[in-house]
């Protein structure tokens, strides 16, 4: 007879059935795509464990970006939770840890507290308490975190050269001057279409606010773990959670945020995790 357990989401308690055939691996549940992924609701048969984690068994045809999209988390979350994982070398039957929310998995050290861990990642301690009910657990989910605050950025000369992986995301005049954020500016009239430089998962697409000078922008996480940002947009054509192919329309050039010049209309194209191939 099937059992059921309760998992709390932000708004309510949801019942999820547990099959008698489900395998238990040290507190994690192993799932395959037939149990988890559903065209109507990817979470329809989600089986949480006491730590709020899952072990997902990769199926033929899976990509990490598509798995991330189905679970509603970022690609980077999967990569950080599975440090030995290589995005382009996954195989059917391989098992990966999946977090319940975008963030990182932190191994709790002796004498660490929720407050000290929150400070380490620059997040609100209330979020750590919300997603980690068992404060004696060996690992904590850190929602919203990407890397520790102490992480030192490497210079662009140390980044991998992925020339040929990205296409120029719009038309216009590429100034080709490298920004400190590993970006170039491409000037054209406001309203000019912007396209995805490579396939990937839309992880952020705010269409309001100053956003540290970026204005409106779109962030894409690519299957190789690299992130691209398309900033100062006038209008975004995608939303967080969308999966796009290379060359898909994602936004339009604008002058939102910190822009200069007679019109200010241009695209700030930034790459995080690889060299920018459009530097002249």
Sketch the domain layout of the chain as residue ranges.
3-100, 156-272
pLDDT of residue 188: 95
Distance CA 213, CA 206 (A): 13
Reference 70, options 89, 96, 50; nearest CA is 96
pLDDT of residue 146: 63
Distance CA 189, CA 252 (A): 10
Q: Who contacts 51 (Cβ-Cβ below 8 Å, separation ≥6)? A: 27, 28, 134, 137, 139
Alpha helices by DSSP H, listed for the chain, are: 33-36, 64-71, 75-81, 114-121, 125-131
Structure tokens at 278: 């459009």
CATH superfamily of 3-100: LysM domain (3.10.350.10)
Per-residue pLDDT in tens (0 to 9) along the chain, 280 residues: 333 233 333 333 333 333 344 444 444 445 454 444 444 444 433 444 545 577 888 888 888 888 888 888 888 788 778 777 765 578 888 888 888 788 888 878 877 888 888 888 888 888 888 877 777 777 888 888 765 543 334 466 678 999 899 999 999 999 888 888 899 999 999 999 999 999 999 988 999 888 888 999 999 999 888 999 999 999 999 998 889 999 999 999 999 998 888 899 999 999 999 999 999 8
**Assigned CATH topology for domain 156-272:** Glucose Permease (Domain IIA) (2.70.70)
* Contact between residue 175 and residue 187 where contact means Cβ atoms under 8 Å apart: yes
pLDDT of residue 26: 44
Local structure of 137: helix, strand or coil: coil
* Contact between residue 277 and residue 182 where contact means Cβ atoms under 8 Å apart: no
CA separation, residue 206 to residues 19, 117, 127, 230 (Å): 40, 28, 22, 11
The model's pTM: 0.53
Q: How many CB atoms lie within 10 A of CB 187?
A: 17
Q: How many CB atoms lie within 10 A of CB 220?
A: 28
pLDDT of residue 88: 59
pLDDT of residue 121: 80
Q: Give 36: exposed, middle or buried? Use CB within 10 Å, 0-12, 13-18, 19+.
A: buried
Distance CA 125, CA 120 (A): 11
CATH topology match: 3-100 vs 156-272: no
Structure tokens at 150: 């102490």
């Amino acid at each position: 007879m099937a059992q059921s357990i309760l998992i709390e989401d932000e708004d309510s308690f949801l019942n999820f059935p547990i099959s008698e055939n489900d395998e238990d691996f040290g507190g994690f549940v192993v799932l395959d795509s037939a149990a988890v992924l559903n065209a109507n609701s990817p979470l329809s048969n989600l089986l949480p464990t006491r730590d709020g984690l899952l072990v997902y068994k990769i199926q033929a045809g899976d990509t990490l970006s598509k798995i991330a999209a189905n679970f509603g988390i970022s690609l980077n979350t999967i990569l950080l939770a599975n440090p030995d994982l290589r995005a382009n070398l996954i195989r059917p039957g391989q098992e990966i840890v999946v977090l319940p929310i975008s963030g990182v998995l932190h191994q709790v050290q002796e004498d660490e507290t929720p407050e000290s861990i929150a400070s380490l990642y620059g997040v609100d301690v209330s979020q750590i308490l919300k997603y980690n009910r068992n404060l004696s657990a060996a690992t904590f989910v850190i929602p919203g975190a990407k890397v520790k605050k102490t992480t030192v950025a490497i210079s662009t000369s140390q980044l991998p050269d992925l020339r040929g992986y990205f296409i120029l995301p719009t038309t216009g005049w590429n100034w080709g001057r490298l920004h400190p954020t590993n970006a170039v500016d491409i000037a054209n009239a406001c309203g000019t279409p912007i396209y995805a430089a490579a396939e990937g998962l839309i992880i952020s697409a705010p269409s309001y606010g100053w956003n540290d000078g970026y204005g409106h922008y779109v962030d894409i996480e690519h299957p190789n773990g690299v992130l691209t940002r398309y900033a100062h947009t006038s209008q975004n054509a995608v939303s967080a959670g969308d999966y796009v192919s290379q060359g898909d329309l994602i936004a339009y050039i604008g002058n939102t945020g910190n822009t200069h010049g007679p019109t200010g209309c241009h695209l700030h194209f930034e790459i995080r995790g690889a060299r920018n191939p459009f530097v002249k």
